[in-house]
A and B are shown apart, each in its own frame.
Chain A
Amino acid sequence: MTVAVVQFGGSNCDRDAVRALDRLGVDAERVWHEDGLPADTEGVVLPGGFSYGDYLRAGAMAAHSPIMNEVRAAAEEGTPVLGVCNGAQIGSESRLTPGAFTTNRSARFQCEDVYLRVENAETPWTAAYDEGEVIELPIAHGEGRFEIDDAAYEALVDADRVLFRYCDADGEVTEEANPNGSKGNVAGVLGERENVAVLMPHPERASLAELGGSTDGQGVLEGLA
């Protein structure tokens, strides 16, 4: 079992993801995008960073990297695929997941801890939590505002494909608790199938107890275990 953490030019959370997965006992390695997925790949992480300098739109260039055809094929075969932050932007730009992540309402890069309410605990990415549970993860993005048209949003909600919403410490989903203006406070969604997920907050940065912060991110990474 090897999880491939795909490294694009400008990725910068790949080592963090490998280390966090190692700690969970999940074999993981960094894979340079030009080298393609290893034959024994049983999971894929699209890590955070600034692939291709966020040229055009965050994630737009990496989404058309040849390795993404392999990632798409693996996803269709049921391989778990997780996109975090820039990886989430790559996931939506490559149409692995619905909607788009675009410029924060504040028009600023935001780096802070946020609370998330678990909306659907019956997925591989959220099985470690209870529905309605509040977890704490960091965000670090300038383009994290989830946008999607109204009809597609309703369909997403009806299909229970919203994983997390930004909330306050009590789990209330409020406008004040929405750090970037995301539609419906959405922070993470599932793809067509539950083996594909993306989220803007960083579970890999909230997984190691010795860092002194939240370790709530471990549960998301367990979707790759």
Chain B
Amino acid sequence: MTAYTATVTVRLKRGVLDPEAETTQKTLERLGFELADLRSADQFEVDLDADDADSAAERADEMAQRLLANPTLHDYDVVVEEQAE
């Protein structure tokens, strides 16, 4: 077994309104920043032991499908890295 960290990033699907991001963008603009757009996302770092990177990714993918993301609202991606010794 190898120790991996699976990073699951959950984003709103394109076209789904993100009032928190809009509010954040407005406040950045009030602070004088220039920006074209801003999107928010949730990121989860999951430490897990698995036989290989593929099975770690598969387990993290299932976590995203069953809990971390809501398929009506979200897209997600999973990146797996072996933990440093």
Contact = CB atoms under 8 A, between A and B. Distances in A.
A39 B17 CA distance: 43
Contacts, number: 36
A105 B70 contact: no
A60 interface: yes
Given A99-B72, A100-B72, A100-B73, A60 B67 contact: yes
A147 B73 contact: yes
B19 interface: yes
B19 A103 contact: yes
Given A107-B19, A181-B17, A147 B68 contact: no
Contacts of B73: 100, 102, 147
Contact of B19 (A92, A93, A106): A106
B38 to A, nearest CB: 13
Interface residues of B, number: 13
Contacts of B66: 64
Contacts of A106: 19
A147 B23 contact: no
Contacts of B18: 103
Given A145-B17, A147-B16, A148-B72, A107 B67 contact: no
A56 B72 contact: no
Interface string B57-79: 00000000011101011000000
Interface in B1-33: 16-20, 22-23
Given A100-B73, A102-B73, A147-B73, A56 B20 contact: no
Interface string A129-161: 000000000000000010111000000000000
A51 to B, nearest CB: 14
A54 to B, nearest CB: 13
Nearest to A93: B70
A166 to B, nearest CB: 16
Contacts of B68: 56
A104 interface: yes
Contacts of B20: 103, 107
Contact of B70 (A57, A103, A107): A57
A106 B66 CA distance: 28
Interface of A: 56-57, 60, 64, 92-93, 99-100, 102-107, 145, 147-149, 181
Which 7 A-B pairs have CB atoms at the shortest separation, nearest pair first?
A107-B19, A100-B72, A107-B23, A103-B19, A100-B73, A100-B70, A107-B20
Given A106-B19, A147-B72, A181-B17, 9 more contacts: A56-B67, A93-B70, A100-B70, A100-B73, A103-B18, A103-B20, A104-B19, A145-B17, A147-B73
